[in-house]
Structure 1
Amino acid sequence: MKFHQTTLKDAMLIDLERRGDDRGFFARTFCVDEFAANGLPTEFVQQNTSYSANKGTLRGMHFQRAPHGEDKLIRCLRGAIVDIIIDLRPDSPTYKKWEAFELNDENKRQLLVPKGFGHGFQTVSDHVEVTYLVTAKYTPSAEGGVRWNDPAFGITWPLEPTDMSDKDKTWPDFAG
């Protein structure tokens, strides 16, 4: 794996090192030693997956409040997404800054989203499947979010959203 710092403190983009032949390819998506050597989490307790049928579907921006914060390792298995993260850690030098990453079934990239970040994505193709490992179990009472179009962040999404949950449409204005 090749690890690349992003413009946001502690967030990491990870390229797989594919080894291929006539059958296809092989690549590691996680190695405890390589993650530890890059200062990344090495213990994941849950794996989640989502499927979105339609291009333009928007999911997010989600986080879990401390002490239930979770690091996430995101990967798009089918189709393509633009994944957006926001640093919501008040003591961070990149506080309230956001960055976007294209993850798709061709580039095979992964994104490590640190705890304390808001996370969401928009599908830019139909029939999208995303999987992610998390370092903490989902705790409903710790769930939080910021609205996809909150003026506090000015996120530029690739498309006008076509599908979104009622909860994601109605998160309150950011009060940080």
Structure 2
Amino acid sequence: MRITERAIKGIFDVELDPAADHRGWLIKPFDARPFAAAGLTAEWRQVIVQFTEHKNTLKGLHHQAEPFLEAKLIAPIEGRCFWVSVDLRHESPTFGQWGGAVLDADKRNSLYVSRGFAHGCLTLSDHVNLLICADNDYSPDHGVSIAWNDPTFAIDWPLLADTEVVMKAEHRDAPPFAAVRGKLGL
């Protein structure tokens, strides 16, 4: 396992090394020792399996407000997606900047994102299955949706031109960042 911090502090690429033989392979998306060696500690409060049927499905942006901020580990089990994390840590020098990563089950790569980020996901293949670990409880009263296409962030989503974007109304009609900033305490 190799853990490397990205340009935006708080976002880490996690490269997994499979143990493989003629029967198949085994990977550990999380191992406390390498994470601790990278300065990351996590006590997971939720382990989520998220399945998305069709490519070009967009989920997010979503953020949990205080006191329910979440660090997340996102590991693809099947398929490919583009995961976006937007820095909403007010004191951060990269506040408002976003980082995107292609997570690919065939490449066995994962992403760890510290608390204080909004998240979004665009599937790049059919049948995307993600394992998501979160270090805090989910609170619907503290969940905030932000417009996926907010010009404040100018996220460069790799939308697939040959396929209609699939999105639920809550995400399609989410308010701009300026309208929810106060609810987030920013």
TM over 0.5: yes
Look up the match of 1:95: 95
Match of 1:162 among 165, 169, 185: 165
Is residue 46–residue 136 contact of structure 1 (8 Å, CA) maintained in 2?
A: yes
Is residue 86–residue 117 contact of structure 1 (8 Å, CA) maintained in 2?
A: yes
Look up the match of 1:19: 19
Q: Which runs of 5 or more residues in structure 2 are unaligned?
A: 182-186
Look up the match of 1:106: 106
Is residue 113–residue 119 contact of structure 1 (8 Å, CA) maintained in 2?
A: no
1:56-71 alignment, distance < 5 Å:
56-71=56-71
Look up the match of 1:174: 177
Distance 1:113 1:168 in 2: 21
Is residue 41–residue 135 contact of structure 1 (8 Å, CA) maintained in 2?
A: no
Kindly provide the CA deviation profile for residues 14-56 of structure 1, in whole angstroms up to 9, marking residues without a partner as x. 0001222222223322111221221213200111122111110
The structure 1 segments of at least 4 consecutive aligned residues displaced by more than 3 Å after TM superposition are none
Look up the match of 2:150: 150
Secondary structure of the residue aligned to 1:92 is coil
Aligned residues: 176
RMSD of equivalent CA atoms? 1.3
Is residue 85–residue 99 contact of structure 2 (8 Å, CA) maintained in 1?
A: yes
Distance 1:145 1:115 in 2: 16
Kindly provide the CA deviation profile for residues 72-101 of structure 1, in whole angstroms up to 9, marking residues without a partner as x. 100111111011111011100111111111
Q: Which runs of 5 or more residues in structure 1 are unaligned?
A: none
Could you tell me the TM-score, scaled by structure 2's length?
Answer: 0.90
